[in-house]
Structure 1
């Protein structure tokens, strides 16, 4: 019982750190820097790595080395492609129903401030480090600690709700929340079906690369 209590407290600390203290520390060190500068992104990258390290350490302690193993069955890539397709279609639908969320507006502002030389830093954070960190926390830590393998998919629902909340907690609206929560549910369901973190991480990376595709083209166009 004591071990379980400690586990829950540590899981909550990791989740809360990613949502609140993470940004407090970032603002403290980056507040005096030029927004979207190289140093700005380097501090953000370091903090993302710190969350990744904490999440992996937590999972290794409470789930063992098997949590980081790549599980393979022929149907898993099919699940991945189906999840990507469903997310893409739902994204198109929601784009007509909801205005830009606070999270999206912040990203748009960051993109506008980012110069060509710093663009690679932005893309690596949003399309690689960010997805890895978020999947380790909101799928790995959260779903393996709370309602794990619930017969009524409570772990998927909880993960989706937390994921939706942390992305629209500023100026939250029902439609904005549901937009991110539905995406979180798709990724969480993929993790539930594969029991491997690599598939939701890959899905999240694919989703973000598509979202920033124009920036990738700009980066490598040479123009």
Structure 2
């Protein structure tokens, strides 16, 4: 009976992964193409789909009486250490990604559909803002709640052999290969990222901190472009 329950919980876990990865992008592209619209509409539909997936996950957690994972922890200075560790991991894995970039398959399985959408309308400021929100806010909340909060508290919790950490990291890596980057280098890269976040959660039992680390990691991808924009804005408006 217990095994049957665990199997059902794992089935729900896989279903939510599907609903939060493959379906939002696929449905968004199809609807946008049918309507003959461009990138902004696609970004909007994708955002709605991912927010819907997050709400579905929270509903499921409430039904399973697992909302305790969002419990607020008291502040301590170790949080700064974890954010610094996030930056270090970002730099190390960034160098790894750059070194083996020639071996990475950047092709998206919906590449042809993206071409059609872009031909109907190029991204504007709206797409840029939505992309930032998805990457830095919604994505980390959804992924950490699912892969760490739900998975690690449901399957092999506090495993002596760290099976919860290892499997959580591996599933995180595999989920990033559903639509693109289907190659060993990308699998290793994303799995190591997932492993790091799983270790943060395992050592702190603080989902909010883990989400913050994930958000910070993703934000670092935007840090340089934002700095260049701010620098140029200040320079051209105040020093020329």
Same fold (TM over 0.5): yes
Q: Which residue number corresponds to residue 145 of structure 1?
A: 154
Q: 1:45 to 1:171 in 2, by over 3 A?
A: closer
Offset at 1:69? 1.0
Offset at 1:28? 3.1
Identify which of 119, 132, 137 aligns with 2:141: 132
Offset at 1:73? 5.4
Offset at 1:101? 4.4
Structure 2: give runs of 5+ residues left out of the alignment.
none
Identify which of 77, 96, 100 aligns with 1:97: 100
Where 2:39 maps in the other structure, the secondary structure is: coil
Query: Does residue 1:114 correspond to 2:114, yes or no?
Result: no
Identify which of 83, 86, 106 aligns with 1:80: 83
Where 1:102 maps in the other structure, the secondary structure is: coil
Q: Is the 8 A contact 1:11 1:145 kept in 2?
A: no
Mapped partners of 1:31, 1:42: distance in 2: 14
Moved more, 64-73 or 125-134: 64-73
**CA-to-partner distance for each residue in 1:101-137, whole Å, 9 max, x for gaps?**
4279x8xx999x4223532222112221122222222
Q: 1:88 to 1:57 in 2, by over 3 A?
A: farther
TM-score (norm: length of structure 1): 0.82
Structure 1: give runs of 5+ residues left out of the alignment.
none
Offset at 1:3? 4.6
Moved more, 41-50 or 27-36: 27-36
Which structure has the larger Rg over C-alpha atoms?
2
Query: Does residue 1:8 correspond to 2:18, yes or no?
Result: no
Mapped partners of 2:140, 2:101: distance in 1: 23
Mapped partners of 1:190, 1:208: distance in 2: 16
Q: 1:65 to 1:132 in 2, by over 3 A?
A: closer
Q: Is the 8 A contact 2:43 2:130 kept in 1?
A: yes
Q: Is the 8 A contact 1:149 1:192 kept in 2?
A: yes
Identify which of 39, 46, 49 aligns with 2:48: 46
Moved more, 92-101 or 205-214: 92-101
Q: 1:189 to 1:208 in 2, by over 3 A?
A: same
CA-based RMSD of the aligned residues comes to: 3.0
Offset at 1:79? 2.6
TM-score (norm: length of structure 2): 0.77
Identify which of 223, 227, 230 aligns with 1:213: 223
Q: Which residue number corresponds to residue 175 of structure 1?
A: 185
